[in-house]
Amino acid sequence: MNVRLIGFTPNPEKIPAMAAKLTHSITKPIDLDKTSDKELKAILEHVMKMGHTSVVEHTCFTFAISDVSRSLTHQLVRHRIASYSQQSQRYVNLKEPNYVTPPKIAQNPEMKEAYDKTMKIIWEEYNKLLNMGIPAEDARYVLPNAACTNIIVTMNARSLLNFFELRCCLHAQWEIRKLANLMLKEVKKIAPTIFKNAGPPCKTKHICPENKRDCPLYPKSQKG
Residues annotated as catalytic are 167
CA–CA distances in Å: residue 39 to residues 21, 53, 132, 144, 162: 10, 18, 67, 52, 26
Judge contact between 77 and 85, C-beta under 8 A: no
Judge contact between 43 and 21, C-beta under 8 A: yes
Q: In sequence order, which ranges of the chain are alpha helices (DSSP H)?
A: 14-22, 37-50, 70-76, 103-106, 109-131, 136-139, 157-167, 174-190, 201-204, 220-223
Burial of 153 (0-12, 13-18, 19+ CB in 10 A): buried
**Rg for the chain, CA atoms, rounded:** 22
Judge contact between 96 and 45, C-beta under 8 A: no
